[in-house]
Amino acid sequence: MTREEALEMVFSHVTEESLRNHMLATEAVMRALAVRLEEDPDEWGLAGLLHDLDYHETLDNFPRHGYVTSEILQERGLSQGLLDAIVAHAGHIERRTLLDRALYAADPVTGLVVAAALIRPEKKLEPVKLKSLRKRFKEKQFARGADRDQIRSCEELGIPLDDFLELSLEAMKGIADQIGL
């Protein structure tokens, strides 16, 4: 599956702009992680871009979140490892591979980074610094939906938290105009 095909699927399944932006942000973080870990940025990027494809369809049925995406994507030439990572990001099956772990950690960090931009008067990513992101990470009440333990699971990839926050921030700055930040 090409990136263009994946993007078309995102636009046909996901109507909410903020969720599409979240998927684009997750793609950017996943690509950066793949580069850092010398994995395949195209495959990891697709996992990030597609991971919440069934969000609307499974909103009232969380146990199906991830599985429905995996079913939608069957026969589309994606690897089983990629489909498993999408199921695993919802916590339904054990995370076994680097790709599983990367997607699990990348998902919530995007929410933290977006919130750190939106709290600024100009609501832009560019002025957000690692230092303020680290501070926000420690504030439990800030962006509470961004699960801190899940973000910290980046350490299972051998990436220290600070490095992960910086990598995610820079990756998302690279696509800031595409996600309205």
Binding site for Fe ion (CB under 5 A): 52, 107
Least distance from C-beta 19 to Fe ion, angstroms?
8
- Helices 80-89 and 98-118, interaxial angle, to 10°? 50
Torsion of CA 60, 6, 152, 35, to 10 degrees: 170
Report how far residue 177's alpha carbon sits from residue 147's, in angstroms, rounded to the nearest whole number: 26
CB nearer to Fe ion: pick between 86 and 127: 86
Smallest separation (angstroms) from Fe ion to the CB of 54:
11
Residue 31, both tokens:
């690509």
Listed in sequence order, the DSSP H helices in 14-153 are 17-36, 41-50, 67-72, 80-89, 98-118, 130-138, 148-152
Compare residues 132 and 148 and give the one whose CB is closer to Fe ion: 148
The count of residues in the chain is: 181
Q: Token pair for residue 50? A: 């597609």
State in angstroms the smallest separation of the CB of 135 from Fe ion. 24
54 or 107, CB closer to Fe ion?
107
Nearest CB to Fe ion, comparing residues 50 and 167: 50
Least distance CB 131 / Fe ion (angstroms): 26
| Cα–Cα distance, 180 to 17 (Å, whole number) | 10
- Closer of 84 and 107 to Fe ion (Cβ): 107
CB of 14 to Fe ion, least distance (A): 11
